[in-house]
Amino acid sequence: MPTISVVIPAYNAERTILETIKSVQQQTFSDLEIIVINDGSTDRTLELLQSVQDERLKIFSYENGGLPVARNRGISHATGEFIAFIDADDLWTPDKLELQLAALQQHPEAGVAYSWTYFKYEEDEYSYADESNFFEGNVYADLLVRNFLHNGSNPLIRKRAIESVGFFDPTLKSCEDWDYYLRLAAKWNFILVPKSQVIYRQSLSSMTSKVEVMEKYLLIVIERAFQVAPLNLQFLKKQSLSWVYKYAAQQYLKYGGHKLNDVKLATVKLTRAVLIQPKILLEEYTQGLIRRLVKSWIFIPFSNHAV
């Protein structure tokens, strides 16, 4: 049996799937199986996968079920002692699995190892590494405030930890990874590999509607999380809600900062974040968002204001 099972959900991923597979194949730790769940793709995803020569690769095709369902199907097929997930458009640095596995082996009480994330945009000037998180051990309170793992391609998780919390929630169309990490953090310690090892692809052409969907499901995850969180952590709910609206404002500015409607929405969201948690006005991040908002209002062509 392999030590690590790598689960890759793939839906119409012909543009990126081979590059993602290659980043898994190039891992310095090689005792692994690569489980691809072809989630009802209608493009050339399956054809491209079948061209890969690697005895570690296992391909399973299903009707489209969505990302959480595809990950759950991958878990069902996994035989490794540890499981890692990577989305079909993300990448890992070659030492990602090796260092995360070493961290878990050195900390047998931990169920999850995670790394820092590099946000990769098509336009290089927007790309950056987020190396601001140092949460380890019991991270439940920190994770209640925000998803500092950032994405579903980050952690290496003990199979025992996965068995203790069950599957991803198939009803969540977004933010299902945060919900899952919260369930893990309630039972298991986390350990950090302080390196940017997860290359998380971003697109500035993402639609505003995606921000709306994400906000909707972030709020659902928060409500659910605080229903089961202990009384002594309930005070964090305001921080968490404020973070969601601040994040939504940032996304509207990032994806549509030159469009009047997106700037209006960003203004509404940031105002709501401040009303919930006024002290965020002291944060450099919030002040930066305010500066961007002011610039956007100034530079939107006057003709737009009449729209």
Tens-digit pLDDT profile for residues 163-203: 999 999 999 999 999 999 999 999 999 999 999 999 999 87
Closest CA to 247 of 218, 276, 226: 218
Residue 153 sits in the same domain as residue 171: yes
Residue 197 sits in the same domain as residue 214: no
- For the chain, list the strands marked E by DSSP: 4-10, 32-39, 57-62, 82-85, 91-92, 110-121, 128-130, 156-158, 189-202
Residue 261 sits in the same domain as residue 136: no
Q: What angle do CA 218, 73, 105 make, to 5 degrees?
A: 80
Q: What is the pLDDT of residues 224-270, one digit of tens each?
A: 999 999 999 999 999 999 999 999 999 888 865 568 888 999 999 99
Tell me the CATH number at 41. 3.90.550.10
Provide the domain count of the chain: 2
Closest CA to 183 of 225, 222, 217, 127: 225
- For residue 234, give every residue at least 6 positions away whose Cβ sits within 8 Å of its Cβ, in sequence order, or none: 226
Residue 279 sits in the same domain as residue 189: no
Residue 33 sits in the same domain as residue 51: yes
Residue 20 sits in the same domain as residue 55: yes
- For residue 157, give every residue at least 6 positions away whose Cβ sits within 8 Å of its Cβ, in sequence order, or none: 82, 83, 84, 111, 112, 113, 184
Residue 82 sits in the same domain as residue 37: yes
Residue 107 sits in the same domain as residue 193: yes
Domain stops at, among 177, 202, 227: 202
Residue 77 sits in the same domain as residue 50: yes
Q: Is the distance from CB of 104 to CB of 173 less than 8 angstroms?
A: no
Residue 183 sits in the same domain as residue 214: no
Domain stops at, among 202, 217, 243: 202
pLDDT (tens place) for every residue of the chain, 307 residues total: 999 999 999 999 999 999 999 999 999 999 999 999 999 999 999 999 999 999 999 999 999 999 999 999 999 999 999 999 999 999 999 999 999 999 999 999 999 999 999 999 888 888 999 999 999 999 999 999 999 999 999 999 999 999 999 999 999 999 999 999 999 999 999 999 999 999 999 876 655 568 999 999 999 999 999 999 999 999 999 999 999 999 999 988 886 556 888 899 999 999 999 999 999 999 999 999 999 999 888 877 644 544 4
Domain stops at, among 147, 170, 202: 202
The torsion angles phi and psi of 85, rounded to 5 degrees, stand at -115, 140
Distances in Å between the Cα of 194 and the Cα atoms of 92, 103, 130, 285 are 14, 11, 11, 22
CB atoms within 10 A of CB 215: 20
Domain that holds residue 54: 4-202
Closest CA to 221 of 272, 275, 187, 185: 185
Residue 131 sits in the same domain as residue 216: no
Residue 54 sits in the same domain as residue 94: yes
